[in-house]
Homo-oligomer: A and B are copies of this chain.
């Protein structure tokens, strides 16, 4: 019958060779499904069909793995080119909006970015692009420098707020809980003790996240253009 020999035995999907890249791949799959908290050394190892100790050959520790994940995801943001048209401000707002949306797509990503100064190649390319757009604005050099920091701070912070929407998990989205919870708390407050909070109903809970973000980005750019750096 069939010749015996180095037959390709049917196996589970071929165990991928261990490498820094394959480790980040596996981590990213966990991240996409269940957020950064689910990216444990043990679970990443399990996904790669090995033990946790094996990962330490390619990665110093979990923090370094997180840094690698962040830079990989930073690479997913499309950087605008001059060919895209639009003035610096339009292109900048598009870029920042994209970044916030990415940060909101992975639970735990935005929070993790506060703990790290992103210096990976993709993060640097992003900073470079950001600074290029700001350089076109005509603002002072010091304003450009501080602006890039402030904008990075804002998109990271805004990203943490968006994440609630992406909730999956066992129980079906908590989005309702959170929003209703906040609105409800404000609504149920005694007006004599909290006159301003009560009085600002319904404005406090009005507006879609996207609308509020666009407003905030315009606030930042208008403010930066209007504020002296000394």
Contacts and interface: CB of A to CB of B under 8 A. Distances in A.
Contacts of A224: 219, 223
Contact of A156 (B146, B157, B196): B157
Interface in A31-64: none
A111 to B, nearest CB: 6
A200 B149 CA distance: 13
Number of copies: 2
Main secondary structure of the interface of A (DSSP, over half): helix
A93 interface: no
Given A119-B185, A149-B212, A197 B127 contact: yes
A209 to B, nearest CB: 11
Interface stretch (A5-13, A19-27, A128-136): A128-136
Nearest to A144: B200
A112 to B, nearest CB: 10
Interface of A: 110-111, 114-115, 117, 119, 124, 127-128, 131-132, 135, 141-142, 144-146, 148-150, 153-154, 156-158, 160-161, 178, 181-182, 185, 189, 193-197, 200, 203-204, 206-207, 212, 215-216, 218-224, 226-227, 229
Most buried by B among A144, A148, A158, A216: A216
Contacts of A154: 153-154, 157
